[in-house]
Structure 1
Amino acid sequence: MIRLFATAFGLGLLRPAPGTWGSLGAVLLGWAIDRYAGFPGLLMATMVAIWAGFAVCARLLADRPGDDPSEVVIDEVAGQWIALLLPSLAFWTRGWEGWLPWPAPLAAFLFFRLFDIWKPWLVGRADARGDAAGVMLDDLWAGLFAGIATVAAGVLWHAPLFWS
């Protein structure tokens, strides 16, 4: 069961680029959760994914310090859902009911993959920890940065509408 959660029900076993497959599956599922359960549902799912991710990584990697197996993508799921949370919150606070508008999920996905691969600042510091918590933390930071970048990109894209 631990391996099933760690690989996001097998997404982490897909090749090439298991992290990208895990992120893609996560963004699609997160988008659906947001559609049918709204921001509160996505928030709850994200909290469960974070908790499960830390628990699964600690158990799975207990005897493998410094290891970050590519098939473990529960961290990508949690991080990707954090990236979706910020635009979801922005629309939810404005009474938006329905699908998170396109291209917000695409932007969240692309920004998350950028920060997860590039590993700037706190993302890289968390990744350098070399422990099970670091496996999760780098993706949580990447998700936070991706969520901020997604909202910022939306504001910049739509700003000319308000200036004219």
Structure 2
Amino acid sequence: MKFAKMIGTVLGVGYIRPAPGTWGSLVALPWGWLLHVIGGFPLLVAGVVIAFAAGWWATAQMTAGSTDHDPSEIVIDEVAGQWIALLPLSYAAWTMGLNILEMWPGWIAAFALFRLFDIWKPLLVGWADRRGDALGVMLDDVIAGLFALLGVIAMAGLYHGLL
């Protein structure tokens, strides 16, 4: 259970108050940058997959026998979702040989859009959240991350005159 708590709370970040989900998303940013710098887009994708799988397991362990299916201290789901929102930036930087930090407006958009969709829970995000199980805890943030990813792409298209 101790290992599950380390994963689920992202080494205790989930215990920071107020707004542990926002703290989880914030800590995901430098770690996402580090993954990108070390291994580019492929390593960030691998990070998403590993965070999702480990988070699903840790969430199931932490919520077993509890009536609260989504305790606020579990923030590994925010890390996975935030990394998904960063994928368009990582892909563009990786394929074009850019410094990913040069796209700083995209970082702000990815963070803001992910938090918006994670808190608002529109459409499929809300459906996943209402599942009431460990998979739902992870899926709502994955879907919020995908919505944010699409928003980042749309905003980049508008900014660069492609849309």
Using structure 2 for the length normalisation, give the TM-score: 0.91
The number of residue pairs the alignment matches comes to: 160
Match of 1:15 among 14, 17, 42: 17
- Give the SS at the match of 2:87: helix
1:135 aligned residue: 137
Q: Which residue of 1 aligns with 2:125?
A: 123
TM-score, reference length from structure 1: 0.91
Give 1:29 shift: 1.1
Residue 61 (structure 1) aligns with: 63
Aligned-pair identity (%): 52
SS in 2 for 1:71: coil
Contact 2:35 2:43 in 1 (8 A): yes
Q: In the alignment, residue 77 of structure 1 is paired with which amino acid?
A: V
Q: Return the offset for 1:65.
A: 4.5
Cα separation, 2, equivalents of 1:66 and 1:132:
10
Match of 1:144 in 2: 146
Partner of 2:51: 49
The residue correspondences of 1:66-105 to structure 2 (distance < 5 A) are: 66-93=68-95, 95-100=96-101, 101-105=103-107
Match of 1:30 in 2: 32
**Alpha-carbon deviations, 1:88-135, whole Å to 9, x = none?**
224433x22422421111111110000000000000000011111111
Secondary structure of the corresponding residue to residue 120 of structure 1: coil
After the TM superposition, list the runs of 4 or more consecutive aligned residues in structure 1 that deviate by more than 6 angstroms: none
SS at match of 2:100: coil
Moved more, 84-93 or 119-128: 84-93
Q: 1:39 touches 1:88 (CA, 8 Å); kept in 2?
A: yes
Question: CA offsets per residue over residues 42-63 of structure 1, 9 Å max, x none?
Answer: 1111111011011111121121
User: In the aligned structure 1, how far is the partner of 2:74 from the partner of 2:12?
Assistant: 9
- RMSD of equivalent CA atoms: 1.6
Whole-angstrom CA distance in 1 between matches of 2:157 and 2:93: 12
| Structure-2 change in CA distance of 1:20 and 1:109 (3 Å) | same
Matched residues in 2 for 1:139 and 1:123: separation? 7
